[in-house]
Amino acid sequence: MYEAINPIAFRLGPIQLYWYGIILSVAALIGLIVVIQEGKRYQIHPGFFLDMVLVGVPSAIVGARAYYVVFKWEDYRNNFWDVFKIWNGGIAIYGALIGAIMAMIFFFRLRGYNFWRIADLCAPGLIIGQLIGRWGNFINQEAHGGPVSEDFLRTTLHLPNFIVNQMNIEGVYYHPTFLYESIWNFVGLLLLLWLRRQPFLRSGELFLTYFTWYSIGRFFIEGLRTDSLAWYASNWLAALMKLLWSPMGLLFHEGEMSYGTVRVSQLLSVLIVLIAISLIANRRFRKHQERYADPIASNRP
């Protein structure tokens, strides 16, 4: 009988180090290195990006936890101090992105940089961090989709044994949604790396493309999951979400929600795509001429 991968990588006395934390740390480090290298093309000192991480990471953690708690408030309203027990689980990527972006708006302004210019530089690093970080969910056997057959994983998807075995949770095989999202983000990374070399790319568009790409993939993959944060929405909104997801339904069965009628991440994904496309169109209509390849300079000494 196959045993799942131990989520504890190793122990140092009473201290336990988890694969999840190691993978997230590696993801953040590689993403940071990519951002620093891109920043060097614009003569931006690496120290700026290190300071950015010191501000951004705590903000992302707070945002990720706050987002989760807001939509699971019934679990915390009578146990308020559990809100701070983040080690028990309960964070969300969208919350992390929202928290980090809010902090970066102020941080970049404080350092005299245009938000869109630096956000563009960070886009490839962000998507790299996400495509690596999802493997932490793989180790923890979480954030998976609904039940599937072993034959589907081995014969249809041709997955290696270590993934198939880890997707066997208490005798039931599940959709490896972590893998779907990781692959989607890898393709997105290739797109961003190609776009940043194109002369037509204007400031802000690489970052907005990243958000659009990620949100489209997240919308369809989220529909396969069974642990989605959800809420009870109007019937017309629930019907609209199902209609938009229906092309995916031709290939896979939708994952069952434990509560609610609309998945929060799906609704947010749709809103982000609409906002991002609107911002790109609006900035071009207003003839915003600054391009990705143009020099970046701080207005602070």
Please choose, from the candidates 215, 225, 208, 214, the residue with its C-alpha nearest in 3D space to the C-alpha of residue 186. 214
One DSSP character per residue, the chain reads -PPPPPSEEEEETTEEEEHHHHHHHHHHHHHHHHHHHHHHTTT--HHHHHHHHHHHHHHHHHHHHHHHHHHTGGGTTT-GGGGG-GGG----HHHHHHHHHHHHHHHHHHTT--HHHHHHHHHHHHHHHHHHHHHHHHHHT-S-BSEE-HHIIIIIS---HHHHHHTEETTEEE--HHHHHHHHHHHHHHHHHHHTT-TTPBTTHHHHHHHHHHHHHHHHHHTTBSS--EE---HHHHHHHHHHHHHHHTTSPPPPPSS-SEEHHHHHHHHHHHHHHHHHHHHHHTT---BTTS----S--
Question: Are 193 and 34 contacting, i.e. CB atoms less than 8 angstroms apart?
Answer: no
46-65: burial string, b at 16+ Cβ within 10 Å, e else = eebbeebbebbbebbbbbbb
Q: Which residues are annotated as a binding site?
A: 134
